[in-house]
Amino acid sequence: MNLEELYQEVILDHSKRPRNFGPLPDATVTVRGDNPSCGDEIELSLKLNGDQIEDVKFTGQGCAICMASASLLTLKVKKKDKAQAETLLTGFKDMLTAPEAPESNEALGDLQIFSAVRRFPQRVKCATLSWRALEQALEAHAGSVTTEEPAS
Amino acid sequence: MAAGERSWEEIRKDFPVLDQEVNGRKLIYFDNAATSQKPLSVIEAMTCYYEHDNANVHRGLHELSNRATAGYEGARARLAAYIGAQEEEIIFTRGTTESINLVARAWGEEYLKAGDVVLLTEMEHHSNIVPWQMLAQRRGVKLRFIPITPEGTLDLTNLDQLLEGVKLFSFVHISNSLGTINPAAELVRRAKAAGATVLVDAAQSAGHLPLDVKELGCDFLALSGHKMCGPTGIGLLYGRREILDAMPPFHGGGEMISTVTFEGSQYKPSPYRFEAGTPAIAEAIGLAAAAEYIDGIGRARIWEHDQLLAREGLAVLSQIPGIRILGPLDHRAGLVAFTLQSAHAHDVVSMADQEGLALRGGHHCTQPLLRKLGVPASSRASFAFYNTIEEIHRMGEILKKVQAFFA
């Protein structure tokens, strides 16, 4: 899939009409994700009930890839348990950042359209921002994540 | 074109990198404000040095070292001539960023104390903000900023008040985000009259228009080689001789000392005192070749062509629906940053890249400025003399397509 096809699919379906977009008043954990290099900012909120993700919503603004990725994330992890969400998370990150491109991963479903982003290193951060936020949220750590590596 | 001048078409052929396809389309390189392309003469000067003369400078007693020293010091002389300075006033650095850090460290720590004011502007690149913030943390100096007008020029209404008590004024000559050309000579004159030491960031102007530090009257001037057709990793700091002579060193090490004992060291005079370690010799030689190349065309002629491209770029971009152009609409340099209502800058730049058009997307290292303008990120087209009107028209077609795609 080339970038234009990716955009066709992603944009028509998600970036213009993001799903689960808005505040989540009874959230149990909220993580803010920030990509300082392009100004993308999203806030991902989860309502956790034990290990179950009862509800998930996001707010913010960013490029089409960032918004569509966050929108699809919410659809994928809602009503899943933590272990299932973590499997998706690992699969998504591997698809984009593993040194060797993995074989197609059917479990990722629609998310596989993002595999094209792999060839555009500068855009990988856009696609993974909401997933980094999810990673932190699953550990039930409210706070913020950034695409930039912090100083050690 | 005057008699005997090479045509722009012919000049473009000096840049081998421009003759290629990207993503199946003819490359249009409009990211010149980030880094310019290099002509064959620069590439060959560096290759020639490595093939024939490579050795360390200053210390060697053998033939190759003599040649390397002659090449390196010859480059200093060429760059001094390029900006109207004396050789002793040219310190080679890695670029504008290191030049400004050198002033902040060596000059700032010697002469500034807690409560002293450093005046900057709101349109500075991070490289002319962060070193001063670091100095503020170490020394307790205060930073003050000249505000910008809604049009993207400096608001000089209260300049006299802003200059009160200022020890150092450091400002950008041409804004890399707004394309604004600041009235450098006037700013220097007024700041000097108020008793301030003045640094000019010439990163975006050095390769585009005639520069003369004596005419400007500034105390320091910083520039980067790679933005003026030279290699990366080399730039310079001009410092007025009296200031450099009194200034303590920056880095310590070889090359910058006259004698070293276990108890202490004596430093060489300027500019060597500020060049510790083996310098970027090939890069300095490449930068001198770039200065030679640019002056071969003529900076006045380059600036005239820049202005033509700037006007055409603005005219073409203005026709794109939903566009917001950052910065002034006239009297500006050949770079235009913009936002599209329908698409984020990163989407614009990625889609343009698919058409072979190289733009820049993001904050262009001016985060505080973009925040003030209420723009999270912008796309930027920046031109050089080897770009053509046809390329600008092609950019217009590509961006119209991108706009329609995301609308």
ipTM: 0.84
Encoding tokens for residue B240? 């007025």
Q: Which of B346, B354, B377 sits opposite A123 (nearest CB)?
A: B346
Residue A8: the pLDDT is 78
Give the Å distances, CA to CA, from B12 to B6, B16, B225.
10, 9, 19
Q: What is the pLDDT of residues B87-132, one digit of tens each?
A: 999 999 999 999 999 999 999 999 999 999 999 999 999 999 999 9
The rounded distance, in Å, linking the Cα atoms of B127 and B167 is 19
| pLDDT exceeds cutoff 70 at A151 | no
The per-residue pLDDT for range B231-249, each reduced to its tens digit, is 999 999 999 999 999 999 9
What is d(CA B170, CA B163) in angstroms, rounded to the nearest whole number? Answer: 12
Task: Name which of B191, B173, B184 is nearest B215 in CA terms.
Answer: B184
CB of B362 less than 8 A from some CB of A: yes
The chain A residue lying nearest B366, using CA atoms, is A37
Average pLDDT of chain B to the nearest whole number = 96
> B301 vs chain A: nearest CA distance in angstroms?
36
- For the residues A81-87, what does the mean pLDDT come to? 95
Contact between chains at A11 and B346 (C-beta distance less than 8 A): no
CB contact under 8 A, A64 and B406: yes
Of the candidates B244, B129, B130, the one whose C-alpha atom is nearest the C-alpha of residue B197 is: B244
CA-nearest of B243, B157, B238 to B202 is B238
Whether the CB of B135 is below 8 Å from some CB of chain A: the reply is no
Q: Quick check: B300 pLDDT over 90?
A: yes
| pTM value > 0.90 | yes
pLDDT, average across residues A79-87: 95
- Measured between CA atoms, the residue of chain B closest to residue A120 is B350
Mean pLDDT for B288-307 is 98
B365 is catalytic: yes
Task: Using alpha carbons, select from A113, A56, A53 the residue that is nearest to residue A80.
Answer: A53
Nearest chain B CA: its distance from A3 CA (Å): 8
Q: What is the pLDDT of residue A152?
A: 42
A-B Cβ pairs (cutoff 8 Å, strict)? 48
Q: Strands B220-224 and B197-201, how do they pair?
A: parallel
Across the interface, do A39 and B406 touch by the CB < 8 Å criterion?
A: no
**Check whether domain A3-145 has CATH 3.90.1010.10, yes or no:** yes
Number of Cβ within a 10 Å radius of residue B275: 25
**For position A142, what pLDDT does the model report?**
66
What span, in angstroms and rounded, lies between the C-alpha atoms of B88 and B247?
13
Mark out chain A residues that contact chain B at CB-CB < 8 A. Answer: 2-4, 7, 11, 36-41, 61-66, 120, 122-123, 126
State chain A's mean pLDDT as an integer.
88
* Interchain CB distance below 8 Å, B354 and A39: no
Task: Return the structure tokens found at B259.
Answer: 């004698």
Residues of chain A positioned with their CB less than 8 A from the CB of B362: 37-39
Q: Is B345 on the interface with A (CB under 8 A)?
A: yes
Whether A62 and B344 lie within 8 Å, measured CB to CB: yes
CB A62 within 8 A of CB A134: no
* pLDDT score recorded for residue A23: 96
The domain limits of chain A are 3-145
Chain A interface mutation, best of B177, B326, B344, highest count of A Cβ atoms under 10 Å = B344
- Contacts with B351 from chain A: Cβ below 8 Å: 3-4, 7
Q: What is the pLDDT of residue B287?
A: 98
Which one, of B102, B4, B11, lies nearest residue B302 by Cα? Answer: B11
Nearest CA in chain B to A12: B406
Whether the per-residue pLDDT at A147 is higher than 80: the answer is no
| Rounded mean pLDDT, B131-150 | 97
Percent share of chain B, pLDDT over 70: 100
Indicate yes or no: CB of A63 within 8 angstroms of CB of B405. no
Interface probe with A: pick from B130, B326, B347, most Cβ of A within 10 Å = B347
Reduced 3-state DSSP string for B37-58: CCCHHHHHHHHHHHHHHCCCCC
Residues β-bridged to residue B260: B265
B47 Cβ under 8 Å from any chain A Cβ: no
* Model confidence at A1: pLDDT above 70: no
What pLDDT is recorded for position B406?
87
Contacts of A68 in chain B (CB under 8 A): none
Average pLDDT value for residue range A87-114? 89
Q: One-letter amino acid identity for B110?
A: E
Q: How confident is the model at residue A35 (pLDDT cuts 50, 70, 90)?
A: confident
Chain A residues with CB under 8 Å of B343 CB are 64
Distance between B116 CA and the closest CA of chain A, angstroms: 30
Q: Packing angle between helix A82-97 and helix A64-77, nearest 10 degrees?
A: 150
pLDDT of residue A37: 76
Distance, first Cα to last Cα, chain B = 42
Min Cα–Cα distance to chain B from A2, Å: 9
Instruction: Identify which of B7, B279, B220 has the alpha carbon closest to the alpha carbon of residue B96.
Output: B220
Ranking A60-69, A113-122, B38-47, B394-403 by mean pLDDT, the lowest is A113-122
* pLDDT tens column, B30-55: 999 999 999 999 999 999 999 999 99
Domains of chain B (ranges plus CATH)?
Answer: 8-30+298-406 (3.90.1150.10), 43-296 (3.40.640.10)
Q: What mean pLDDT is predicted for residues B342-352?
A: 93
Closest Cβ opposite residue A38 in set B343, B361, B406: B361
pLDDT above 70 covers a percentage of chain A that reads 94
Option in B347, B354, B370 nearest A64 (CB) = B347
- The confidence score (pLDDT) of residue A5 equals 77
